[in-house]
Structure 1
Amino acid sequence: MGSGVFLSTYEKQLDGKRRLLIPQEFRTAENGAEHGVFCFPSIEADCLEAGGDALFAEYRAVIESLPFGDPYRSALEASIFGEQKPLAYDSGGRITLPEHLCEEVELADTVVIYGVGERFQIWNKAKWSAHRAEQRRVARDGLAKFGEMRRAAASGGAA
């Protein structure tokens, strides 16, 4: 169950040397993160995004699907390839986050590691709480809309 993807949410301590223990469930061959992860500032949220070989391959495929010189491709190349930091685990399963990445998303002390499928995110705890509340609101609204569409389709199909 959940093989090859990052699932669940963990609170972890970021120590004074910016070392962060990555959950053992996230360090697997199935998700390509058994030896380390790559990490960069998220494009969609105020956090760090991280993952293994599977995520890197997915981003690379998206980037390579755009024509060379396309401004979207250039922006993705800069954001993904240019900002990326490959991070290996130490003997205790920790990565050391670069200071500039910690500063960019205001990571200190307690952080939240949030599994979202092919990737995981590393959040400032307070920012994650606000993000989680907003995501739950959007999911609730989306589920209600989906239900309305299904009811409309069912009643339209019966007529």
Structure 2
Amino acid sequence: MALFIDTFINRIDKKGRVSVPATFRAALIGLPFAGIVGMPHFRYDAVQCAGIDWMEGLVSQLGNVDLFSDEHDDLSAAIFADAKQLAFDGEGRVVLPDALAAHAHLSDEVAFVGRGRTFELWEPKRFAEHKAEARRRALEKGMTLRAQPAKPDERA
């Protein structure tokens, strides 16, 4: 599974094309779809993105929810109904659909924000404000991650 780290700000051209950062593209090599999947972020004015493998994982997780339940209907509509497959062109660019660009208030520039297994597209100034607030909340709450136990060396 891909790993996305760092933040990159790229220009959007007049045709709505934007270059996906090379390190993000490299993380997606070998997947059955040569591009990214983007959908309106569930909580923020941003676009949630990942490789097709991550989306396939969501399909698998949705299999744990009763098929004709309200929960299944709500989740499948929220996740898949507005998701778009954005294929890479020969120069590593994707075309941002108008609906996704509008959701994230994107016009001239986009911040590609690594989030581990996913990444997000933000309007750069909005992301700077969001990041400052997220850091403030994390500090205020004393958030931390638990250290994972060391894995035994498999070569031994």
TM-score (normalised: structure 1): 0.81
Partner letter of residue 97 of structure 2? P
Structure 2 residue runs of 5 or longer lacking an equivalent are 146-156
Report how many residues are paired: 144
Residues 24/131 of structure 1: CA separation in 2 closer, same or farther (3 Å cut): same
TM-score (normalised: structure 2): 0.82
Q: Is the 8 A contact 1:4 1:31 kept in 2?
A: no
Partner letter of residue 9 of structure 2? E
Residues 96/134 of structure 1: CA separation in 2 closer, same or farther (3 Å cut): same
Q: Is the 8 A contact 1:38 1:50 kept in 2?
A: yes
Q: Is the 8 A contact 2:45 2:105 kept in 1?
A: no
1:11 is matched with 9
Q: For 2:42, what is the secondary structure of its paired residue?
A: coil
The structure with the largest helix share of the pair is 1
Partner letter of residue 136 of structure 1? R
Structure 1 residue runs of 5 or longer lacking an equivalent are 148-159
Deviation at 1:7, TM superposition (A): 0.7
1:54 is matched with 53
- From the CA coordinates, give the structure whose radius of gyration is larger: 1
Deviates more, 1:25-34 or 1:110-119: 25-34
Residues 90/84 of structure 1: CA separation in 2 closer, same or farther (3 Å cut): same
RMSD: 2.2
Deviation at 1:50, TM superposition (A): 0.7
The percentage of counterpart residues that share the same residue type is 26
Q: For 2:63, what is the secondary structure of its paired residue?
A: helix
Partners of 1:86 and 1:146 in 2: how far apart? Answer: 34
Q: Is the 8 A contact 2:39 2:82 kept in 1?
A: yes
Residues 138/62 of structure 1: CA separation in 2 closer, same or farther (3 Å cut): farther
1:23 is matched with 21
Moved over 6 A (4+): none
2:126 is matched with 127
